Every structure is written in C-alpha cells, then in structure tokens.
C-alpha cells in the first residue's frame, strides 16, 4: 500500500483510455444537438410541404384580365358574384311553366336535359339552366354551403323575374341539392323533380346497414375520396391531386363507374366534349372539390325530416332513379320514398345513372313535373 501523499503512477494505456472516454462522453451532447436541429428542420419542411400541398391555387375567375372569357349571359347576385345561364323553350312572357334546371357534379349549364322542342312548345315550358357556383362561368362562392345553393336558386329566379313560383329539376348531385330548396325556399316552388339524386351517407335517418351497404357498393377510390371529404375536408384538394392514390373516379375521368346501360348511352354522353373544358376552367377546387365537400359534409338538416311542401296538392315532388345505377345506389332513393310518402317515386327498371339521355325520357320527366297528377 502506498504511503499517504505519495503519487500514484498511471500507465500510458490507461491514460489514453481515460482520454478517449472523456472525448466520447463530451461528443454526445454535440451529436444530440445536431440531431435535434435536423429534426426541427425536417419537421418544418414536412409541415411546409403539407401546407402547400393542401392549399389550392387561386381561382381563375371568368372575365378577369387573365381569366377565361365570358361567353354566356350572367346575372349579378347581391354579394357581388355572377351566375351564368342559358335559356331554352318558349319565352318567359308566353310560358305557362317556368323550370330551373340544376346540373350535377362535374357538369355545367349545357348539361340540361334534352327536352324536345315539341314538348317545350306544346306545354309552354321556359327552361332555365345555370352554372352552379365555381362551375363554368359562374363565380366561385368561398362561403358555399347546402343552404347557399338554395339561396342562389331563389336569387336567380328573382333576377330573372320568374314570378312568385317556379319548378325545379335537378340531376345527380344537383338532384340532392333540391332537398335544400325544399327545406329553405319551399314557398317559391310549384313542383320539383329529383333525378338520379345523390345521397349523403351520413344523413341520420338512414339505417346504418343500408348506408354502409350503399357506400361499400362504390368503387374503392370513391369510398376514400368521399371519406376524406366528410372527415377531413381540408385535405380534399390534396387527396384528389396527389399521385400516390387514385382520386374520385369522376375527377379521374374513369368510366368504371358506368353500368352497361350507361355505356350504351356513351355516344350521347360524349357529345358534351364540345363544352367540357368549361366545366373546370376556374379551378378544380372551386368547382369539383368544394362541391364534394358540401355534398358530403354534415348537413344542417335531414331530408327525411321534411314536411310535404304541397299539403294542398297544388304541386308535387318526383324522385326518379334507374334500377341499374352504379354511380348512386338506388336503395337509398327507395328508402327515402318510403319515409316520405308525399314523394312520387318513379323507378326505371332498365335505367342507369344517365337514363334521362335515353330517347324520350327527358320529355317524360318534365311532363310528369309540370302536369303532376293531371
């Protein structure tokens, strides 16, 4: 044992090992600091990418210096927006029946039903079709909602001096929005026809198994796009523009959603190519994506809670659906017609989603609308 105060000899090897240990331990904080800084930079980069990826570009407004030209007449709404429209049939002054057509998803005013000139003249029908907000040549509505669509319809009727009452005819998603008009402006309606109407799978009155089965019958890519629109609407733009997963089939231009009956009508459906570029010209977010969000959001009301808008039988509501429709499951329309006995339900056994394009069907629909039980 060494005497007190005596110095202890340390070997060179031990000294080197001790030095290495000190250097190693002292380098850990430096490494941790670098990793922390890199993590923060990476997180900020990811968040910035997500922000940009989920943020749509500004709309390409019609009539602005760099926007598409305005080629159809438009009315100016009280909030400053414009709605574009076309008129067919007899003049308003001579009309016995004034009908407003509401187009569907990824469509525009030119997709109005092909009602024959003979029927329009014979019954004295004035037919007004307009671009819904963000579509075609109508300005986008940053505050678009289920209710605002009904408000646009009413203001359009006022600006076009259609009188105290008018008829409505809506196709697909446009048919779904007729429920909004029945809720918010029933006093203005003389009658309504919902044709191949879309339904919101989250309307409370639908039995869970029914809505689940109808939802599951859709293409997988459509299920995901609708799910995102409902649960994470702020991601709708990103979901339908990213390249990793398939967007909504209609947005992608897929025909997989069409039944064999619809494919038989393709020559007529494809005739819309002459104006198809107009549909999305102001930006897909402001037409398609916003439409998707509103259609599948949590609605302010349940259509199956609505009361008969025509208790005096001075008008009627018609619901038309093709039994072969693969785009919108017919089971939901069947259930709605059972819950609302005042709705006159017409199921077309060999019809699919686009059955109004079949010869004579549009004439049949509009005659039932304006004549009611006559």
* Full DSSP string of 156-183: HHHHTT--S-EEEEEETHHHHTHHHHHH
Q: Find out whether 298 and 146 touch, Cβ atoms under 8 Å.
A: no
CB 199 within 8 A of CB 332: yes
Among the ranges given (81-95, 179-193, 265-279, 288-302), the one the predictor scored with the smallest mean pLDDT: 265-279
pLDDT at 5 over 50: no
Rounded Cα distance between 70 and 282, Å, is 12
Asked if residues 327 and 172 have their Cβ atoms less than 8 Å apart, the reply is yes
- CA–CA distance from 178 to each of 65, 85, 103, 283, 353 (Å)? 35, 18, 11, 25, 17
Tens of pLDDT, residues 25-67: 556 666 776 766 666 665 555 555 555 666 899 999 999 999 9
Count Cα neighbours of 314 within 13 Å in the Cβ-side half-sphere.
9
Pairing of β 166-171 and β 189-195: parallel
Between helix 330-339 and helix 208-216 the angle, nearest 10°, is 160
- Asked if residue 88 lies in contact with residue 157, where contact means CB atoms within 8 angstroms, the answer is no
Predicted local confidence at residue 15, as pLDDT: 45
Would the pLDDT of 296 be above 70? yes
Question: How many CA atoms, within 13 angstroms, populate the side-chain half-sphere of residue 128?
Answer: 26
**What's this model's pTM, rounded to 2 decimal places?**
0.87
**Confidence band, pLDDT 50/70/90 cuts, at residue 14:** low
Kindly report, residue by residue over 207-254, the tens digit of the pLDDT. Answer: 999 999 999 999 999 999 999 999 999 999 999 999 999 999 999 999
CA–CA separation, 189 and 164 (whole Å): 8
List CB contacts of 175: < 8 A, sequence separation 6 or more: 102, 104, 194, 195, 196, 197, 198
CA–CA–CA angle 186, 156, 336 (5° rounding): 35
């Amino acid at each position: 044992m060494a005497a007190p105060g005596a110095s202890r000899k340390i070997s060179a090897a031990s000294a080197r090992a001790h030095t290495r240990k000190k250097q190693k331990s002292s380098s850990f904080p430096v490494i941790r600091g670098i990793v922390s800084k890199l993590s923060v930079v990476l997180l900020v980069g990811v968040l910035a990418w997500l922000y940009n990826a989920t943020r749509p570009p500004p709309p390409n407004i019609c009539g602005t210096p760099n926007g598409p030209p305005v080629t159809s007449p438009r009315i100016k709404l009280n909030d400053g927006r414009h709605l574009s429209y076309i008129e067919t049939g007899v003049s308003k002054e001579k009309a016995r029946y004034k009908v407003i057509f509401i187009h569907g998803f990824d469509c525009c005013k030119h997709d109005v039903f092909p009602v024959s000139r003979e029927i329009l003249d014979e019954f004295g029908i004035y037919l007004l079709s307009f671009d819904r907000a963000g579509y075609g040549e109508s300005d986008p509505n940053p505050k678009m909602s289920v209710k605002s669509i009904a408000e646009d319809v009413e203001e359009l009727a006022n600006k076009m001096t259609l009188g105290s009452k008018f008829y409505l005819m809506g196709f697909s998603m446009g048919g779904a929005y007729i429920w909004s008009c029945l809720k918010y402006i029933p006093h203005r309606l003389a009658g309504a026809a919902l044709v191949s109407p879309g339904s919101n799978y989250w309307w409370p009155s639908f039995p869970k198994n029914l809505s689940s089965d109808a939802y599951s019958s859709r293409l997988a890519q459509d299920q995901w796009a609708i799910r995102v629109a409902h649960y994470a609407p702020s991601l709708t733009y990103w979901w339908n523009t990213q390249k990793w997963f398939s967007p909504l089939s209609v947005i992608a231009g897929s025909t997989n959603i069409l039944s064999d009956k619809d494919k038989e009508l393709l020559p007529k459906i494809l005739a819309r190519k002459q104006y198809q570029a107009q549909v999305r010209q102001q930006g897909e977010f402001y037409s398609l994506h916003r439409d998707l969000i509103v259609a599948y959001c949590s609605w302010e009301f349940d259509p199956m809670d609505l009361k008969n808008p025509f208790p005096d039988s001075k008008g009627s509501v018609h619901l038309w659906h093709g039994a072969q429709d693969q785009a919108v499951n017919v089971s939901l329309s069947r259930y709605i017609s059972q819950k609302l006995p005042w709705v006159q339900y017409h199921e077309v056994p060999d019809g699919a989603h686009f059955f109004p394009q079949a010869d004579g069907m549009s004439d049949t629909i509009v005659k039932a609308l304006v004549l009611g039980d006559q």
